[in-house]
Amino acid sequence: MLFGRILSVLTPLTMIPSIVYCLMFTPKEATMGDLYRIIYFHIPCAWVATLAFFISFVFSIAYLAKRKPVYDSIAHRSSEAGLVFCVLATITGSIFATYTWGSPWNWDPRETSIVFLLMIYIAYLLLRWLIEDRDKKAAISAGYSIIAFLATPFLVFVMPRITSSLHPEQVGGLGLTRPMLYGVFGMLAGFTFLYLWILSLSQRFDMEEI
């Protein structure tokens, strides 16, 4: 597929320079020094996870409306990718927490909300695994994906803000300078291309089996 080939070029062209720039050329953060550089991976992972769950939501609606297997495939594979990036966001966040709060896990509101999110989408994949009939699997999982995503904005944007949090955003931010923000935006673009490339490859594999 042409789209996949374009992404196979765009992804390394974006990610490699961005990683080099973020790790070697961006300045140290005023209070955290080099530790803050983990946000160049944590923020894009969290962003891609949310984007992937949204794409799964959109194509789940499309499947229920049109009943096309390709829509079910995209919804399924996007949820899988979203779950992987959600796990990576959790791991990078825990590394950050270890060095800033002294513990990898503190049941902070953001940590608690991401646990719920992980459980929701692990359940989605288990549901697909348990149902053998292809059409029934696609329809039920599409309905589940729609309901699951309706909870995502609350878990990602609302719940962490209704109580006090240790998260840097809640305690004054990281004080990112313009060069640091350039790095964040470059990594956001690179991780987005990576997600789309993974989705393209996995969806193509599914289409060969259908």
pLDDT one digit per residue (tens) for the chain, 210 residues? 678 889 999 999 999 999 999 999 998 887 777 888 999 999 999 999 999 999 999 999 999 999 999 999 999 999 999 999 999 999 998 888 887 777 777 777 777 788 889 999 999 999 999 999 999 999 999 999 999 998 887 776 655 555 555 555 543 445 678 999 999 999 999 999 999 999 999 987 876 665
What stretches of the chain adopt beta strand conformation (E)? none
3 state DSSP class of 33: strand
Given 1.20.1070, 1.10.287, 1.20.120, 1.10.10, which CATH number is that of 2-209?
1.20.120
Full-model pTM: 0.88
Report the alpha-carbon angle 38-42-44, nearest 5.
125
Longest dimension (CA), the chain: 56
183-203: buried (b, 16+ CB within 10 Å) or exposed (e) per residue? bbebbbbbbbbbbbbbbbebb
